[in-house]
Structure 1
Amino acid sequence: MPSAFSPASSMFAQVSSKWSLLVVVFVVFLVLVSPAKSDEHQILMNLKSKIEKSDTGVFSSWTEANSVCKFNGIVCDSNGLVAEINLPEQQLLGVVPFDSICGLQALQKINLGTNFLYGTITEGLKSCTRLQVLDLGNNSFSGEVPDLSMLHELNFLNLNSSGISGKFPWKSLENLTNLEFLSLGDNPFDPSPFPMEVLKLEKLYWLYLTNCSVTGQIPEDIGNLTQLQNLELSDNELSGEIPAGIVKLNKLWQLELYNNSLSGKLPVGFGNLTNLMNFDVSQNRLEGDLSELRFLNQLSSLHLFENQFSGEIPEEFGEFKHLTELSLYTNRLTGTLPQKLGSWADFNYVDVSENLLTGPIPPDMCKTGAMTDLLVLQNNFNGTVPETYANCKSLIRFRVNNNSISGTIPPGIWSLPNLSIIDLSTNQFEGPVTDDIGNAKSLALLLLTNNRFSGELPSKISEASSLVSIQLSLNQFSGQIPLDIGKLKKLSSLYLHDNMFSGPLPYSIGSCVSLTDINFAQNSLSGKIPDSLGSLPSLNSLNLSNNKFSGEIPISLTYPKLSLLDLSNNQLAGPIPEPLNIKAFIDSFTGNPGLCSKTDEYFKSCSSGSGRSHHVSTFVWCLIAVTMVLLVLLASYFVVKLKQNNLKRSLKQNSWDMKSFRVLSFSEKEIIDAVKPENLIGKGGSGNVYKVVLNSGKELAVKHIWPSNSGFQGNYRSSTAMLSKRSSRSSEYDAEVATLSAVRHVNVVKLYCSITSEDSNLLVYEYLPNGSLWDRLHTCHKIEMDWVVRYAIAVGAAKGLEYLHHGFDRPVIHRDVKSSNILLDLEWKPRIADFGLAKIVQAGEAGDQTHVIAGTHGYIAPEYAYTCKINEKSDVYSFGVVLMELVTGKRPIVPEFGDSKDIVNWVYSKMDSRDSMLTVVDPNISEILKEDALKVLRIAIHCTNKLPAFRPSMRVVVQMLEEAEPCSVTNIVVKKVGESSPSFSRHYNST
């Protein structure tokens, strides 16, 4: 008979069975999870050990005692497993162990962006199959990117400016159909056509492929990516027209296509992109009118400069309430500038220069007081300067030169507190410069040439203490030159010629210690020439011709190294100082009947009294010269002894600390043992350089920094500057080495590691077997290089320097750019070397200053020589000299240039005609390519402008050089250059 309790018993049994199952599952879970957590702890501690440096303290919580979920920058999921690694902008320096961290089985996000990470992105990344976010941008990785096709769940990929190179695995993008954000720009990939695989990523809202060697045309099907909000394809080699399909992208708020070779007109229907806020297609070959843009009333930033647009600027631009940035310069635009422009928005800047625009300047572009730049130069504007701009206290640059504007300058404009440049040249302005100019404390350039300004130059101008250049020539100024002109300590050029100035030249002018160029010709100045002019240490050009100066020529004028002197047509008398009585200045003294000379037959012979004076001055001059020679010889003796002592001393066998910046195949012992006299290949101002041949046969260059200074100046061959003394283990030294280690570019010499001890510092670099460009151009090791070879070296070196200036958050300034610091590898590819004097310029600063003139005579920018102030433009000047070397084949300083002249002055003297310029081109360059060489010579002339503000950036220099590619490169067989010629030819024909 069945029991009455059977059903209950059965039910109890079922419940017990279920609980037992849950307990088993829980136990299994604990068994699986606990080791996983233990493994994750070990993985993250391994990651910490691979990061060599972080000053942010981010790893303070990464201890054995803490749970991984309590680590700074780590986010865990609900199961306590690591889901995210978030360590951006933490100053991390080291190699990422991707093979290890992809063992974190729940990992969905890796954000290590904006650090100093290096090494390669290894194949181990493939194992991060659950990854949704990968951000490695703004780092210093090297090598190629591995196949990414296994990362199916990825929706955010940022490798922008990460240092990767070579072939990118575009094919693998086909599998990443969840991608919404793709940023691969600013990496030196191998050139490839626009990756069609991208067109399959229909969820993309962000596509950044700027500056990553994309070629060919933008495909019509770009319009299929309808979710795109940001599309950036700038700084590539794209050609053809902007495809019509782009007008389908009506969610776009930013479209940037600048610096390509796009042509044709804006596509019909472009006005449908009504959400567009930022549009930049500058530096292309686009044409047609701007009518399609009149509907884009959300625009805040519009850049169309350096194209071939024509027609009128749409009147609707004046109604755009958000427009704050407008750059239309260097086009063919006509008509007037919309008069309501700026009436609604907080305009930042307007640049419509170099067009064919007419009519008045709109009055309200600084209505809200935010404008920094008003640039309308080289047009046909007329009318007057609107009085409203006298209240534009934010204005930094006011340039209206080369127009037909007239009237007086409204009161208040002269004294605008932030104004740096006021350029009113070549107009029809009249009236005076008013006293309030003394309040213009930021004014650097005052350019008023070729107008009808009149009246006296106010004495208050001497209180505008930032003035660097005053150019008032070809006006109607009168009266005396202000007596306090000497207060202008930064003044570099003073052009007052072709006016009606009278009275004496103030003695205080000798206190303008930065003056390099003075031109007071065609005035009515009188009295004696002040001998204080001879105290100007950097004076290079002095023109006092066609005045009424009297008395003797001051002997002090023989002290500056003048390249131009003109005292003609005055009332001077007495002997011509012997050091000035040279052939170069033969016309400098004509029109002065009272002058005499003992040696020059063109002047009357000096009397005996004058002869005695001449002998005395000659004796003084010789005494000074002998003293200077003795001082130089004495200093040279001590320097040589110091170098000999450092060469002979062997390295102490102390404890050494090696910091590697790349994957190394050698030990510190191999390097240290090889630093001995028989391996010496060069001496520099900071130490000696040795060639090291490893057991594997690999060649390296080792710089032994002298104990007395731990700077890095001096390449494999030579150097001329020394840094101030400091401890070899100072934090400054470590900081500079860290900077060098982050520099990774195909045209910059590789730094492998740093080896330091208490009294020595060794820097281990790659060895470049073909020496320096200087060797190949100027020494007994020179070779015959035709223009194709030289051009390719110029472009490569420019790209290396561009990387130093623009590849970091803060520019790296070289400070000793010269042909001996451009080294050549086995395939003759150039590398920028010896940037150890580089300093990091703090963001937002105008420049750097030091009390040591670092650099090499003939390459030093003029402003550096007399102010010790530098920025990137100082490097640009030096690079311009290198370009002149490549074009002319001449050294920067040779006797044929004449006394106190260098290659820059010599080239400038040949600029009067094309035929004259052709004479400076190296005769070893074939006739068919001399025209191409002249293109680069013109770029060199831009680079060596005396005013740093007028020199191009290195980024622009690279662009100009690429546009100057020899027209007939493909039709020329490159001449053999040693045994390496075949590989050299392949490399540069593909560039």
Structure 2
Amino acid sequence: MRCYSEMNPKILVFLLVASLQICSIAARTDIDDVAAVKALKGMWENTPPSWEGQDPCGDQWDGIKCINSRVNSIQLSSMGLKGQLSGYISDLQELQTIDLSYNKDLGGPLPTSIGSLKKLENLIMVGCGFFGPIPDSIGSLQQLVFLSLNSNKFSGQIPPSIGNLSQLFWLDLTDNKLEGPIPISTGTTPGLDMLIKTKHFHLGKNQLSGRIPPELFSSDMRLKHVLFDSNKLTGSIPSTLGLVQTLEVVRLDRNSLTGPVPSNLNKLTNVSDLFLSNNKLSGPLPNLTGMNILSYLDMSNNSFDASNFPPWISTLQSLTTLVMENTQLQGQIPTRFFSLPYLQTVDLSNNTLNGTLDIGTSYRDRLQLIDLRNNLIAEYSPIPGQKQVEVILVNNLVCKETGVSADYCTIPRPNSSNVSLPNNCEPIPCRSNQISSPKCKCAYPYTGLLVFIAPSFSVLDNKTNYILLVQQLMDSFSSKQLPVDSVSISNQRKDPFSYLELKLEVFPSNQDHFNRSVISQIAFVLSNANFNPTKPFGPYFFHGDSYQYFAGEATGSNNSLNTSIIIGAVAGGFALVLLLLLAGVYAYHQKKRAERATERNNPFAHWDSTQSSGAGVPQLKGARCFSFEELKKYTSNFSEANNIGSGGYGKVYRGILPSGELIAIKRAQQISLQGGLEFKTEIELLSRVHHKNLVSLLGFCFDQGEQMLIYEFVPNGSLRDSLSGKSGTRLDWIRRLKIALGSARGLAYLHELANPPIIHRDIKTTNILLDECLNAKVADFGLSKLMGDTEKGHVTTQVKGTMGYLDPEYYMTQLLTEKSDVYSFGVVMLELLTARKPIERGKYIVREVKMAMDRKKDLYNLHEFLDPGIGLETTLKGLNKFVDLALECVKESGADRPKMGEVVKEIEDILQLAGLNPNNESASTSASYEEAAKGSPRHPYSKDSFDYSGAFPPSKIQPQ
């Protein structure tokens, strides 16, 4: 072997550079970003094979793009990802783009922590499985330009905070389950009317209700698309819509809009597509004179006043399609109408048009269909030798009374609208799953459904249009330098919403597969409106399929081989060996540093199921793992000065994070550590539910034999503390109603919006906390159960809960249902009225109230039971209804009790009766018990269940 001094200088330089690169590899990605991306990986299945090693940026993980060692883009469209979006995504503080579209098995709730991504510009999650409310925190993304959450399962209302997104260009929430009104600003809250730079309001195919607020539109706006179709909107079309003169497409069809169409609608001279059909519009037909770009007009199925065929229609020189079915038209159609130069389709069926149908001789070749079925046309004579237009006159006088058997007196069979675009070659046979491209090359194309919301044409077999579309697609891919060889479109059809659907196939260039990077880029072009088709196609969205045929999947073999070569070469010289040793030490320390950062964000690292009562690793959604040493520091070594509560489980301490945020730390004592399953349950449940009336879990500690839960700090203690006078807070009647409403809303969320539903199983006043504004927050999920089988409607389980609040039906049958929580909540309602514990001196509050109540007397004869602090000197509006509702909740049979959603509605009505808006928001655990003995259980609240002191039979229920 040659000695060091004899080695080629070029080889030495190469080896030195390679060695220095080893030093930098471990530090190429910011360690916090490494931890966050690995947390995402931990929540997902089917991540790309390249997602190995410690360095997402340096190892070039597919779908991850970096700038200066920070992750700034995640693009993983059509990858077949499964799982949920981890709340740790908020740690990627340099992130500018998230595109996870077309992963249908990627879902769950959108974490509220996403609002922390202050540099995010593109949030695109089209065609996934996300559900639950869109978090209000999304309004904190001040740099957001594209917000595309269409084709998911989002529910609840549109967050008003979206109005804060002053840079927003594109808002697409189409095809979800959103409900409630369209939010507008009120002076104290934002709304969509503030989005004056936004050009796209795509809100169709939801369940939005209420009127379209006139305040939504103004002349300052630059909107191009207003797509509100297929909702439950009511009221009239606001005249302010006519102020937005930049509009190009307006879809208000398939709602329940009423009243006349605003007369100033014809000011929208840039509109090419206007859909007002399938509403309850009345009054005269609007005069659209001056809308010279209008090409597609659909006003069918409304209740307009009867009128002759409007003369202004014949002035619309760009019109291609007129649909006015069932609009009370009468009289004769003027011949000059059919000479409009671009006219293709006319549907005037189900009216009372009469006289002679004369389409003249000057109509153009584009005219293909005139549908006049179910009118009163008396005469029609096609001119021999002219191009035959398809005319339908079924159920007109010309067919009924004359007995004519002409083609126009029959309903034609629908023709296949599939168009074969011209190829310059003969298609060739391909092996399994491959498809012959338009250039006759066998390959695995990327496929999906291209959906146009308002195409400005109605004839689906027009080859010219589709050739234009293919060219525009190719131009768009070419401008991004994507290796696309050709594009095919087929299977064109109109869906029930009048959307045009096309099957799209994109073929690779120079090989028969795409790689992951290219698939993400193609999908991004189609989801981020980089592809911007010109008329006649207009606004669209794309549903991509998962791609199964990736080429050239990266493995770690090349990196390992290169490293081996470098190490072998460096072994030739002593100096380089020493350099490598130094580099190895440095890399080792950097690796350990990254692992520590990952471990901080990976709460599973030390979870030992054998020491946790068999409880498997928790499946978290946003909770952080704290070390024992951190919590010691935050609580001054768990000092007594920070002890703010205690119970059978242990103690609760107040702590202060370095950010200054107050936290509450629930620390289990050693004798309670056997409850690993309950500990795991509370972590999982609290980390996956997010509601303003539920206590938020910030994290947990499973370190050094400790079990601790870290919550948001709720400063005013429990409802029991306030009712007992311990906290010094006086609760008047209105405040008690608001607390009842907040608690009910939190429970209703668990029962009806969580997926799967959750039964709390330990509702009581010590588990309802009050924040600084005395808003209620439901806490303590240690006994909660998931309702995995919603069809069965119950869970068979050991009886657990707190005596006095425990549902008798559950106690007797061991069948737990959501109505068990309803019973407990009914007891809480009675406690709000009386401030008494459920069981005092052997007397059970439910039975005592039922016995004393007399509906014929003032305050139902409950004067002696009502808490004086409730304000007996004032009028307690709604008290009787509140008592009735409480007693409905504590009925013996669960089937007779209301659902929590119904309870919420009733309390809202009571608040309104008291003269308050229920939406105006301003203004720990005691021992649990389980059945320990077999045999036939007695009713838990029968008289023989109590002795004088209020104790219960120890043979039946014991403290856990």
TM over 0.5: no
TM-score (norm 2): 0.45
More relative contact order, 1 or 2 (CA 8 Å, 6+ apart): 2
